[in-house]
Structure 1
């Protein structure tokens, strides 16, 4: 018997991917031209106060390991916890300093700007659904509007189409990674007899918040990689 919670999450992400697949690139391109965002390399988007953590797709994790393997950690806010108290999370994230700055931000500048990761390349553009003020799920296309960079810059039709395509590809890849995570976890739990237990999840998160170490299995390239982490590892993020 499969875990009903995992099945619901798998269905939810699968439906989101189908909706995203049908979203017209040209519609996002129009919004990109209207906003006219221009990066000034202010570094605000590299701070957790602005954007939380930087989630890495598998292809980004591979490059991150080549650049500086110590700069990655299991992504925070673990999705699943089994009956033994083991957490499971859908990928890795970038570490930050205790001040909440990306570890690659040096003197206000990104030291790997030409090799920056997928989310960093498409930001502030986005294409996923979030609840509006009435609680209705609608697509959002821009993050942090008027909080950094410059606006009303002229963007050509070709450039806006390229940006829109890259943004949609990123969002599709993210959803595919989430779908892969839940499919793999359903298979793993079906074999082991495990399941997600919210009560144990909450209990272990309280212990984690007090500084105790926890086991986290990170989904990476189709497998679950075991790590042991504590709250101190997430200084600046949590």
Structure 2
């Protein structure tokens, strides 16, 4: 959904709230059963950390302090800015990790995660998921595995207890992600209404052209319930090391 008006902000929040309700109604135990049936086994191929498989690593609020402790320079505003006001300020729902020049995760080296014991929320549940996406026919339904048959091995035995633990972590991640997105749109709506701001697509497009030309832009990142002002250029998203 393109955020072109205050009405669109409300509609997006309502859409996310609906998705959250559907998530909470997903039958207990069903995801664990699917995890058991699929029998996924990680082969340490490192593909999940590459540009080929994942565009960027989005950080939940619970990841931020850890990321700053590991490497304060590793985080940037998430790359797909949700909206832009009439003054040319972008707004985005959180932070993400910088990438290497080839687009791979900044912490991937020789196909291995260099911070594995401290890896972030999405990294701990991948390739498992529990959110709705459209298929090739436009039908929207829950997906539980990302990159099925494209990495790892399948049909390995998975203990029921292990499957239940994975399912619990995955569901918790999806809930935290949606809660953050809902809170972001609620905060944006309040900020815009109280300050006479409005989303403007023409300004959004102009500022994105500036960003693509590696000119600095202002991005307000929603983090831990507040908006944090950042000034970034496109080149800032690539690690200098």
Instruction: For residue 77 of structure 1, report the CA deviation from its aligned partner.
Output: 0.8
Structure 1 SS opposite 2:173: helix
1:30-41 equivalence runs, <5 A: 30-41=33-44
Displacement of 1:95:
0.8
Unaligned runs of 5+ in 1: none
Partner of 1:173: 176
Q: Deviations over 1:27-69 (max 9, x none)?
A: 1111111111111221111112211100000001121111111
| 8 Å CA contact retained: 1:25, 1:168 | no
C-alpha separation between the residues in 2 aligned to 1:37 and 1:51? 18
Query: Following TM superposition, where does structure 1 have runs of at least 4 consecutive aligned residues deviating by more than 2 angstroms?
Result: none
- Alpha-carbon distance in 2 for matches of 1:230, 1:58: 23
| 2:72 paired residue number | 69
Aligned to 1:206: 209
Q: Deviations over 1:139-161 (max 9, x none)?
A: 11110112211211100111111
Deviation at 1:114, TM superposition (A): 1.1
- 1:169 is displaced (CA, Å) by 0.6
User: Which runs of no fewer than 5 residues in structure 2 stay unpaired?
Assistant: none
Superposed displacement of residue 214, structure 1? 0.7
- CA deviations 1:162-189 (Å, max 9, x no partner) are 1111111100000000011011111111
Whether the aligned pair in 2 keeps the contact of 1:90 and 1:181 (CA below 8 Å) is: yes
Query: Which of 50, 57, 61 in structure 1 is aligned with 2:60?
Result: 57
Deviation of 1:106 (Å): 2.1
Count, aligned residues:
235
Q: How many angstroms apart in 2 are the aligned matches of 1:146 and 1:136?
A: 21
Q: Determine helix, strand or coil for the equivalent of 2:231.
A: strand
